[in-house]
Amino acid sequence: MTTKNNINKRWFYLATGVFTMLFSGVLYAWSILKIPFKESFGWSDSVLAFNFTLTMCFFCLGAFFGSLICKKIGPKITLFIAGALVAVGFISTGLLKENLPYLIYLTYAILAGTGIGISYNVVVSTVCSWFPDKKGFCSGCLMMGFGVSTLLLGNVISILFENPAFGWNKTYTLIGAIIGAVLIVAGIILQLPSKDVIFPAAKARKSTSKESFEVRDFSTAEMLKSFTFWRAFAFMAFITAVGNSVISFARDLVISVDATPALATTLVGVLSVCNGFGRIITGAVYDALGRRTTMLASNILTIVAAGITLTAVMIHSLPVCIIGLCLTGLSYGSCPTMTSAFTASFYGQKYFSVNYSLTNFNLIVAAFIANFSNSLLISSGGYTAPFVMLLILAVCALGLNFSIKKP
C-alpha cells in the first residue's frame, strides 16, 4: 500500500538527515577552524571567542527564520537557500587576506552561521515529522550526526591546513563547496509526510515519574506565555553554556595541562564523539524513562563534568582533564536532543518548527556566557575562574530543573 511505502521512506530520510547534519556540524569545530587566523593574522583570543558567540547568535536567528521560510515555501527551496549561504560564507572566509576581524564576522558568523542554522531547523523538523512515535530516538540520531562532525572532519581539516597544496584558504573553499552541495542534495531528497500517512502509536512507558498533562498543540504565543517554557529555557541555557565554553577553548585547555598540539587536536575530536554519543543516548533515555529522569541525569552529569575539569585544572592533570572533557561532551550532547524532544512533547508537533527554533535561542544566552568565560580566562590568566563560574551555573540549573512543571 502507498501509505506503508511512505512510512518506510522515513528511515531513508533519517539516514539522509544524519548525513546532512554531519557536514553542517563542522561549524562546531571552531577550536580547530580558528587556528589559521591566530597564526596568520595574530588575532586575539577575545576576537576569536566573539566570532564564535556571534556565530551562535546567527545560527539561532537562521533557525528561526528558516522555520518561517520553510512554512511558506517548503523544505526544498529553504535548504537550497541554506546551501547557498553556507557556500558563500565559507568560500568568502577562505578568501580573507587582510587583518580585518569584522570580515570574518560577516563571512563565517553571519553568512555561514545563518545558513547552518536554517539547515539545522529544516532538517530536524522535517525528519522528526516522520517519527512522532520515536521523538527522542530521531532527535538523538540527527544530533549525533551534528555532534561527531568535529571528530570525523576536524582532523581532516587540520591536515589540509598544514598541507602546502591546500593551506587554510583552499580548505575553507573546499568546505563551503561540499557543505553547500550536501544541503542542496538534501533539499531534493527530504519531504514532509502527506496527511494520509498513518504512523505507529508511541509505546506507553511504565514509569513512576511519568508526567500527566494535556497533550495538545500550543501555538508559539501560547508557549511563550507559559512560565514552564522560560524555566526550561533558562535551565537549557545554563547547561549548554558549560559545553559551549569548553568547545570554544577545548584545544587550548588541554594544551595548558601539557598535551601536545597533535594530541590536543585529537582530544577535540574525542569531545566531539562524546558529544555525538550523548545526543543519541539522551534520545533513547528520553523515550524510555521520560523527561524528568533525562533532564535530571543530564544536569547531574554536567555538574560532575565541570567539577572534574576544574579539578584537572587545579592539579594540572592531563588524564583527569581528558575525563572531564569526555563527560562535558556527553552532557553537552544531551542538550539539543532534550530541547527537540522537550519542545515536541510539551508543546506539540503542529507548531514544532517555529517553537523549536525559539527554544533554541537558549544557545544565544549560552554563547554570551561562553564569551564571558573567555573574558574571565583572559583577565584571570587561567581556567580556574571560568570553571568555578560554570560549576555554579550547573548547580543553579538543578534548581530550575526541579521547578519545571506541566505546561
Q: What is the pLDDT of residue 176?
A: 94
Which residue has cell 595541562? 257
Q: Is the pLDDT reported for residue 208 higher than 50?
A: no
In this predicted model, which residue has the larger pLDDT, 47 or 152? 47
DSSP state of 361: T
Q: What is the pLDDT of residue 251?
A: 83
Percentage of residues in the chain having pLDDT higher than 70 = 94
What digits encode the pLDDT tens for the residues 311-357? 999 999 999 999 999 999 899 888 877 887 788 888 887 888 788 88
Q: What CATH superfamily classification does 2-196+218-403 receive? A: MFS general substrate transporter like domains (1.20.1250.20)
Domain boundaries, the chain: 2-196+218-403
Residue 356 amino acid letter: Y
Distance (Å, whole) CA 135 – CA 128 = 7
Q: How far is CA 46 from CA 43, 255, 368, 384, in A?
A: 8, 18, 12, 18
Q: Is the pLDDT reported for residue 213 higher than 70?
A: no
Q: Is the pLDDT reported for residue 110 higher than 80?
A: yes
Q: What is the pLDDT of residue 123?
A: 93
What digits encode the pLDDT tens for the residues 222-274? 889 888 899 999 999 999 999 888 887 888 899 999 888 888 878 887 887 78
Q: Are 322 and 264 in contact (CB under 8 A)?
A: no
What digits encode the pLDDT tens for the residues 20-45? 998 988 887 787 888 888 888 888 87
